[in-house]
Amino acid sequence: MIYTEKVMDHFRNPRNVGVIENADGVGEVGNAKCGDIMRVYLKIEDNKIADVKFETFGCGSAIASSSMATELIKGATIEEAWKLSNQAVAEALNGLPPVKMHCSVLAEEAIHKAINDFRSKQGLEPWDMDESGEDLHDKVHGE
C-alpha cells in the first residue's frame, strides 16, 4: 500500500468539490505528467478565504491534495493561504509517494493563481509566484 489512509479518505470523499459562481479569484493549472488539471475558486471576505471550491481532472494524489489544501486554507487569511506549501499539504496527508509529489504542487500553484487573480481584480500587484514547485518537479522527474 503506497498511499496513506488519509490520502485514500480524501481521494474517495474529496472535500469542497464544485464551483463558486461569481468567485473573487479563480486559478487553473495543469501538469503534463499525469494529465492533471486543477481549477480553484475563492470567495474572499475581509481578507479571508470565506469559501473555496475546486474541480480536478486528475490522479488520486491530485484529488487528495486539492481536497486537503482547500480544507487547510478555508477561513485563513490570504497571506496564510499564500504560504501554504505543497510539503505542508503532503504532511497533512501523512505523506505522498515521492513520485506523486508533483501532484501536490498543483494545489499550491492553483491557489497562488487564484489569489493573484483576486489581487489583479482589486487593482493590486500580483505576488511573486513561488518557483519551488518547478524545482521539486525537476528533482522528482529530472534524471
Q: Which residues are catalytic?
A: 34, 103
CA distance 49 to 79: 10
Q: What one-character DSSP code corresponds to residue 35?
A: T
Considering the complex, what minimum distance in angstroms separates the CB of residue 102 from Zn ion? 7
Minimum distance, C-beta of residue 104 to Zn ion, in the bound complex (Å): 9
How many angstroms separate the CA atoms of 66 and 29, rounded?
12
Q: In terms of CB distance, is 59 or 140 closer to Zn ion?
A: 59
Instruction: Using the minimum distance from each CB to Zn ion, give the nearer residue, 40 or 62.
Output: 62
Contact 40, 22 (CB under 8 A): no
All three cell numbers of 19: 464551483
Shortest distance (Å) from residue 30 CB to Zn ion: 10
Contact positions toward Zn ion, by CB under 5 A? 34, 36, 59, 62, 103
**Which of 62/110 has CB closer to Zn ion?**
62
What's the CA gap between 120 and 59, in Å, rounded? Answer: 31
